[in-house]
Amino acid sequence: MNNSRLLFANVRLPGGGNLKTIEVDDGNIIRVSDAAAGPQTDQDGYMDMGGRLLLPGMVDIHMHLDKAMTWPELPNASGTLLEAIRRFADAQPLMETEDLIERMTRTIRLALRHGTTTIRTHLDYGSPSYCAKAVEAYHTVKERFRRELDLQAVLMCPPGMDEEAEAAVRRAVADGGIDAIGGAPHLADAPERQLDRLFDMAVSLDVDLDLHIDESDDPKVNHLPYLCRKTVEVHYEGRVIAGHCTSLSAMEESQALEIMAAVKEAGIGIVTLPACNLFLQGRQDKGLVRRGLTRVKQLAGMGVPVAIGSDNVRDPFHPYGNADLLHSALLASYGAHMTTEAEMNKLIAMITSVPAELLRLDHYGLRPGGRADFVLLDCEDAGSALAVQPAARETWKRGRRVCRVTESVTWEEP
């Protein structure tokens, strides 16, 4: 489909309302209007979408492409985060750039077929050798998919970061192509000192921070308050993302409310990763096992931007998954008890407009001036999208269809 000017007629947009027509020219949306009463098949580029739901391209704000597709070769017998970290670290010296490229490519193709048009991946530092391979593989797949997908990278600093590691991270950022600095400071021997160092690097390099924070079900693992104070201290409001934050759910209510208010004040975005959190957390619980998610519903209700990510796809941290954000949103609906019509619409925003806002994506959204990045789903609204999880989808990037999946069912007569 190579037409420059396209009319997507009779589409439904998030939040309901009348059927719309989306007019696209040269990869950009130039007009959104109520659908015309009669057929307009005589117009070039006219396509009747038959009332299907059209969403802006899904934004997967938190993935690990370098880890993806390593299961079952790298199993996790205990199902714990610490074993997953150890398994992947032990395997890194044996990984080659070509293997990383192949696994990243497979995962990106899965994401594309499910409607994702932007991915931010976290890359392990591991060792100087592994870091070089991961960054090279990332640049290769970014160029390979440059017409189909926008790709960003966060380079994760190791918890025990020495001068060599810091120099390598700084070089990778300075060379271009690395969009943010990350890491898991709660795993360091001195988490606050590690956070100070990460902020010093981010500020000096003028890049954002995108961190794994308090990924634990132990309420004593509590470094989010320091992150909030440090963000305000260095004037980094709106430039910090905190992923996981699962220990927040294990805390006493008044303490959690105080921390969530600080998160809002600091302008920190929160990313929940329901698949991995449900899989990894609560492993030591007996009887009533905790869900393991952060306080998604409360945070969103307070006005904190909360996004949903895929996190890990078929690796020691999470052996399942198809890089399908709509499925992640369904898991969040279960885990966070978000089931009203308004909450279902909010869940869709958590995989589209909210992560786009956190990543400050230019020209995003179904509006005049927005880029024509969207996904067509064979359903009518947010509720049916979550309930049906439609297999039939079309992914469009800059006004060009890059993937179409059809649902074909054949019934065999007895």
Which CATH number does the domain housing residue 373 bear?
Answer: 2.30.40.10
Average pLDDT over residues 355-380: 97
- Position 215 scores a pLDDT of 98
How far apart (Å, rounded) are the C-alpha atoms in residues 403 and 122? 25
Helix (H) or strand (E) holding 260: helix 253-266
Mean pLDDT of 237-253: 98
Task: Clarify whether residues 396 and 336 are in a common domain.
Answer: no
Q: How confident is the model over 348-371, as a mean pLDDT?
A: 97
Structure tokens at 258: 């105080």
What is the percent of the chain with per-residue pLDDT over 90, rounded to a whole number?
A: 93
Which CATH number characterizes residue 327's domain?
3.20.20.140
Distances (CA, A) of 99 to 120, 137, 318: 20, 9, 19
Two tokens, residue 299: 């945070």
Q: 2 pLDDT band (50/70/90 cuts)?
A: very low
User: Is 413 contained in some domain?
Assistant: no
Residue type, 287: G
Q: Which of 38, 133, 115, 94 is nearest to 326 (CA)?
A: 115
Of 174, 152, 169, give the one whose Cα is nearest residue 65.
152
* Region 275-300 average pLDDT: 96
Whether residues 396 and 345 share a domain: the answer is no
Tell me if 347 sits within 8 A of 386, measured CB to CB: yes
Q: Does residue 391 share a domain with residue 339?
A: no
Q: Could you tell me the two tokens for 366? A: 């179904």
Q: What is the pLDDT of residues 154-181, one digit of tens each?
A: 999 999 899 999 999 999 999 888 999 9
Is pLDDT of 45 > 90? no
| Same domain as 382, residue 236 | no
Rounded Cα gap, residues 56 and 59, in angstroms: 9
- 339 and 385 in a common domain: no
Same domain as 329, residue 223 = yes
Residue 46 domain flag: yes
Give which of 272, 339, 258 is closest to 302, Cα–Cα.
258
Q: Is residue 314 exposed (0-12), middle (13-18) or buried (19+ Cβ within 10 Å)?
A: buried
pTM (2 decimals)?
0.96
Q: Please report the pLDDT score of residue 413 as a whole number.
A: 86
Q: What is the mean pLDDT of residues 231-260?
A: 98
* pLDDT of 16 strictly over 90: no
Q: Is 42 inside any structural domain?
A: yes
Q: Are residues 158 and 15 in the same domain?
A: no
Q: What is the pLDDT of residue 3?
A: 53
Assign 407 a pLDDT band (cuts: 50, 70, 90): confident
Characterize 169-196 residue by residue with b for buried, 16 or more Cβ atoms within 10 angstroms of its Cβ, and e for exposed.
Answer: bbebbeeeebbbbbbbbbbbeebeebbb
Q: Which domain holds residue 159?
A: 58-358
pLDDT at 1 over 50: no
Beta partners for 119?
60, 151
34 plus 99 within the same structural domain: no
Residue 410 lies in a domain: no
What's the mean pLDDT in 356-367? 97
pLDDT band for position 408 (50/70/90)? confident
